[in-house]
A and B are shown apart, each in its own frame.
Chain A
Amino acid sequence: MSLNGRIPNGAAQATEVPSVSVIGINFGNSFASIAVLTKEGLAECIANEDGERQIACAISFHGEETYIGNEAKQQLVKNSANTIIGFRNLLGKKFSELPKDRPTSSAPVIQHPDFPDTPAYKVQVLQPAPSPLSPAASALTTKTNTPAASQVATPRSEPIPAERVLTPADVTTVFLRSLLQSAEAFLGKDVYGAVITTPGWFAPAQLDALHEAAEAAGIRVLQLLEDAGAAALCAAANASGVEQSAAVGPDRTQLVVDLGASSLSLSLLAVRQGLFHHLTPATHHPDVGGDAIDDRLLKFFAKDFTKKTGVPLKVAPASEGPDARAEARLRLALLHTKRTIAASVAGAGGSAATCAVESLKDGLDYTGSVNRLRFDMEATPIYGVVVTRVGELLKRAGLDWICVDEVVYAGGSACLPGLDAALAVHLHEDALTPFITGTVAGGGIGDPTTVLARGAALQARLLVGIGVSSEDERIRKAFERGSELVSVKATARTIGVLFPTASGEGEDGLGGQWIGGMQAETVVPARRTYALEVELGEGAEGVEKKIGLEVWEVREGVTIEKVKAPKEEEDGEDVEEEEEIERKEKRIWKEALLGTLTVGVKSKERRVEVQVQFLVEAVGKLQVSAYQTGNRDTKTVLVI
């Protein structure tokens, strides 16, 4: 994950680990995670005091106690009326904007009694009774003839039941403060600041509300970072450490699939040497998510329970008391089941995940198991929805499935290997996913549950590394919301060079060897340098040889051809009719010749290295230069 090696676009990124400690916080609607920077400069997701890396966004009030995180979630079973979940999405929203008809298994959202049009939660708590008067205070009143007060302390009276009304911002502040405390306990020192991830669809009002809540929790907010950006940054940081396959260069199209518990967010990013931008606006689907998978699994296990015990159990949605409680219990147990499935090795059919609940209903225990195949069967409809949504997104961007070079997963439900399998059917076979590179398992660098927090931590390090001068202040401003520096221009067409062959033949009928130098959607100003080894023909020593190249602007696209499926010899009898399968291929079509270049090369070797540099300036000027490596005298430049 180190950024030491290759620095995209010649970025001045000194990888000094800053002397102050910063953290990255992934603040989701259902789960949050914290990442810190290690001594080696890596970002690492840390566990809180309960040993949880995935900290449930839940707060529960029980008597005098306040529970935060996963133990608060346990309270959903018996104390659901005083347990608050899903509060992040309510931040900065008006009460009238909220959908009313949603069934809830936690504290209901009400209209705040004091502020107009503000959502709030009402919880029952026990307030500690006011302490009895101290002897010193009471001594003042015994100046007269009344007998002196007894020195024995008056026994503390019982705590008083009270009602507390909390706004989502209040709840967020309490929750974020607990995250900060966990991080400080882990680091052993104060946290200077944090980068907090936010969904891309958050409105400015919501971002403001989150910012305020975080500041109130004592967190210096370095940046509110879009989820997709955090995921992409973390993935890019990974890629510079991992050997890149030929298919995935520094310029690539990246699909970010953020499948959390409660929603799905899809972003299609153009990654151009470390610069990220959306090819099409990201989409957000609150109807798809891990909870939908949960609902189906709940039904599956409830049916199993009924079959095993004969006790009817109606879940998702549950109607009345015992069933609702049973559902809550089962839902908590499912978390474990899903994690087991996610951790299972793909293809190992025998591995089954258990789901065990004590006293599920009517005092009856339940133990069941589900294997990968069965699980995927239950989850397929949700996977199907995800695939459809991705398809829609790609269509809007005018791209085909096979144009996606890399997939980055984020969010707890994206850990499920079945999802990757469902997407991989459509993707190009060279496309990289964390499952293919094997970086998901065992908390690897592509782990979807931690990728956001780690990306945020890396960003936090970057931000504190900026100096303090007035010019640096301007640079810092560029990371704030609404900075005009994010508005940039990008190239519309791919520009590259063609090494024409004498015979005019070549792949795809282009008439030579094609090197795509400056891809479409590259943010300008941009520079790309390619080093090519060129094989020269036989020639006399000392004679200058010439390499000619043409600079072209091209159009990219996909051809689809229907081919007959190759007949399988062994079980030929089973296949009655020949199936047609689509074969998709990336292709380019020449659009316009921009000019030609000739490099004179003097070399005894049969192979020489030639460097071709593309430079596109912000004003629209293109400069292509080619020269023999290490010999700038041979440089020839084409300026358009």
Chain B
Amino acid sequence: MGDIITLPVVSLPQQTDRKSEPSQANTISPFVERKLIPVGPAYLAHVRRVVHDLSFEEHDKHVEEEEKRRRNLEREADDEDDLGVGDEEETEDVLSLDPKEWKKQDHYAVLGLSHLRYRATPEQIKIAHRKKVLKHHPDKKAGAVGNSNDDAFFKCIQKANDVLTHPEKRRQFDSVDPYYDLLEADVPTTQQVTKAKNPNSAFFKLFAPVFEREARFSRKKPVPLLGEYSDSKEVVETFYDFWYNFDSWRSFEYLDKEVNEGSDNRDDKRYTEKKNKTERARRKKEDTARLRAIVDVALSADPRIKRIKQEEKETREAKRKNKSGPGGGPSKAQTEEEKRRIEEEDKAKEEAEKVAKAEAKKAKAAAANAAKKARRVARAEAGEVP
């Protein structure tokens, strides 16, 4: 509609039937020639209308489209801009954090990244931090009601940013991210799977998030995830192979006890350091064991293993049937299968032998031990008597 000029109220007496006078002129006065100064948006619009030979209505439409397109562009640009972070609401808990207790705070929650956590990119962290700072800077609170010196949350934000922007510190924090504590404690069991109505789907439903969660600790990328029921034998094998040999970057420096500050006693320091070191090692060991336990449970409950075994059995059956079946001479595949079976049997035998050997060795050692013990006892008795 172009520009509408709104004028103040015109008070009018009612116009009912006024006789219209005859027009005194049938054209407007002739135009005068002028020279425009080629400047400004209105001149551009004027030129557009002349060049494209548009009427005002057509031009309006064009402008509207242009405007729409521009808005869309802007929106896209905006979306790119903030990467969808920093709009999270802060809860009371987060706002009342104590910067002195920064080790205990959830840095992701402080920066409003709790929906992303370890997935947050450095750019997202930067943007989120900037947004939070803009919102919570102490300068903004000057003059506000209450304690205007209260910059506790701002300090928390800075601390969170310090931790999350430093790759090593961030790794240490990610290792012990408090958000996952509860989740880690809640590992699905075999019973949960077997008791479910549909054990097959229940297994994947229960274990997929667990492996997804644990995958973040892997040094090797990409990490094979749980997959689905119809996976082939190879896929399943690689999966378990990977997870039994899991190479984790998880470490526990973040939980270290602080060296008593102010104490110059280096013995003290060394003692704490030593303790921390052993503690870290212990935790790491525990973590490895924990993951192994998870994989063990998964392996025992995996419906795919059962399926694969079943399938193998079936093929064997079928083979045997074929072999004993009428008329069918052993085909090449069958002979090969046969060969492999024999080989496997050989191997099994070998292994059995190995085991037997080991057992024998063990028995021998046990016997020797027993003998030793007996001797010792005898000696002791002999010693006591005199």
Give A contacts to B, CB under 8 Å: 3, 6-14, 16, 223, 225-226, 228-230, 232-233, 236, 246, 249-250, 269-270, 273-278, 455, 459, 462, 466, 471, 474-475, 478-480, 483, 485-493, 495, 499-503, 513, 515, 521, 523-525, 527-539, 545-548, 550, 553, 591-596, 598, 607, 611, 615-616, 620, 622, 640
Contact = CB atoms under 8 A, between A and B. Distances in A.
A9 B46 contact: yes
B56 A527 contact: yes
Interface in B32-58: 32-52, 56
A282 to B, nearest CB: 10
Nearest to B20: A596
Interface stretch (B2-10, B213-221, B369-377): B2-10
A402 B73 CA distance: 47
B75 to A, nearest CB: 13
Contact of A545 (B8, B10, B14): B14
Contact of A274 (B21, B43, B60): B43
B1 interface: yes
B1 to A, nearest CB: 7
Contacts of A593: 21-25
Contacts of B6: 530-531
Given A7-B3, A535-B12, 6 more contacts: A462-B40, A478-B51, A500-B15, A547-B15, A550-B21, A593-B21
A459 B52 CA distance: 22
Nearest to A10: B2
Contact of A530 (B7, B11, B52, B70): B7
B35 A548 contact: no
Given A10-B2, A13-B44, A277-B35, A536 B23 contact: no
Given A12-B59, A545-B14, A492 B30 contact: yes
Contacts of B24: 592-594
Nearest to B30: A492
Q: Report the 6 A-B pairs with minimum CB-CB distance, sorted nearest first.
A: A274-B42, A537-B14, A11-B45, A13-B41, A592-B25, A10-B2
Contact of B37 (A229, A524, A539): A229
Contact of B3 (A10, A13, A598, A616): A10
B34 A277 contact: yes
Contact of B5 (A7, A9, A493, A530): A530
A9 B66 CA distance: 15
B146 interface: no
Contacts, number: 262
B6 to A, nearest CB: 5
Given A491-B28, A553-B28, A594-B25, A277 B37 contact: yes
A269 B52 CA distance: 27
B31 A489 contact: yes
Contacts of A528: 5
Contacts of A7: 3, 41, 45, 63
Nearest to A499: B12
Contacts of A475: 44, 47-48, 51
A274 B48 CA distance: 14
B3 A273 contact: yes
B10 A534 contact: yes
Contacts of B59: 10, 12
B13 interface: yes
Given A249-B5, A499-B10, A275 B44 contact: no
B45 A537 contact: no
Contacts of B15: 499-500, 502, 545-548, 598
20 contacts: A8-B41, A10-B1, A14-B70, A16-B70, A229-B37, A246-B8, A274-B41, A274-B43, A275-B36, A278-B35, A471-B51, A485-B36, A490-B31, A500-B15, A513-B10, A513-B12, A529-B1, A534-B9, A592-B25, A607-B9
Interface residues of B, number: 60
A602 to B, nearest CB: 14
Nearest to A638: B23
Contact of A527 (B2, B11, B16): B2
B219 to A, nearest CB: 41
B3 A8 contact: yes
Nearest to B70: A14
B39 A535 contact: no
Contacts of A278: 34-35, 37
B29 interface: yes
B11 A535 contact: yes
B10 A533 contact: yes
B18 interface: yes
Contact of A223 (B7, B27, B34, B38): B38
B62 interface: yes
A269 B42 CA distance: 15
B70 to A, nearest CB: 5
A536 to B, nearest CB: 6
A523 B36 contact: yes
A229 B49 CA distance: 21
Given A489-B32, A492-B30, A233 B40 contact: yes
B39 A233 contact: yes
Contacts of B67: 14
A607 B14 CA distance: 11
Interface string B232-262: 0000000000000000000000000000000
A594 B23 CA distance: 5
B191 interface: no
A222 B44 CA distance: 14
B5 A250 contact: yes
Contacts of B91: none
Nearest to B67: A14
Nearest to A599: B15
B63 to A, nearest CB: 4
Contacts of A3: 41
A270 to B, nearest CB: 8
B331 to A, nearest CB: 71
A228 B248 CA distance: 72
A506 B2 CA distance: 31
B26 interface: yes
A459 B27 contact: no
Contacts of B29: 491-493, 553, 591
B45 A9 contact: yes
Which among B22, B23, B37 has the highest number of chain A CB atoms within 10 Å?
B37
B60 to A, nearest CB: 5
A276 B3 contact: no
B9 A490 contact: no
Nearest to A545: B14
B7 A531 contact: yes
B13 A537 contact: yes
B30 A478 contact: no
B63 A12 contact: yes
